[in-house]
Structure 1
Amino acid sequence: MPARERGSLDWGTYGDSFGHRLSFIRGQRGLSQEEVAHRSGMHRNQVSNLERNHSNRDPYIADPQLSTIYRLALALSVPPAWLLPDIDRPVQRRSPEQASNKAVSVVEAKLERLLADQADDPTG
């Protein structure tokens, strides 16, 4: 089994999608990795590793704990679901968000809309 796979799931593609979402939302919020790390009680290297989908342990791909996802969501003032790829469809072997540049662009556009709607909502 290739190192990037976990069972029948190509975890690397999901880790890439998570990292891209994290980086994109952080950028849209105008926050540095250091600021997100401070707000979430993490080290900047941890945030960087998650964004790059890197781990220091074999198989060298990020696999964040659920508590980490929630801490990051709190730091970014977004629902945790916005960080999680492909939550609106049955799990596939590979993350469809990583299928093409167009698929990544669709995710970015969706996140931009969600962030704009959140900014326009006086209760959010």
Structure 2
Amino acid sequence: MGSRVSCMVASRDDISALAIVCLGYPLKGMNGAIRDETLVQLTIPIMFVQGSKDGLCPLDKLKAVQKRIKPNNDLHVTEGGDHSFKIAKKHLQASETTQMDAEESAVLSIASFVSNSLLQS
């Protein structure tokens, strides 16, 4: 399920989610508007995994929204990653990392967030 839809579903009264992990949240709409209404209404922890080059979610805009989210929230950034976390070859060569390294780092961050969320619930 997409990140935005997952947040909408998790915010319903008849759903009992413990936390949300958003893989590439589309914060910016087609018209450029920031779509943060659902995020600021959430009452459960949320983690964002975003590429630093994701045009659908400028990190400066997301960080501003994060300050307005009441529950615990976290952000893992895949440097050089786009909306699908794909990192351009040029960036990979410059950073001396691999796509798999970046993906493993994201998975470890997600596991830590989920573990901490379960301990706090």
Tell me the TM-score normalised to structure 1 length.
Answer: 0.34
Higher RCO (CA < 8 A, seq sep 6+):
1
- Answer 1 or 2: which has greater helix percent: 1
Relative to its length, the structure with more strand (as a share) is 2
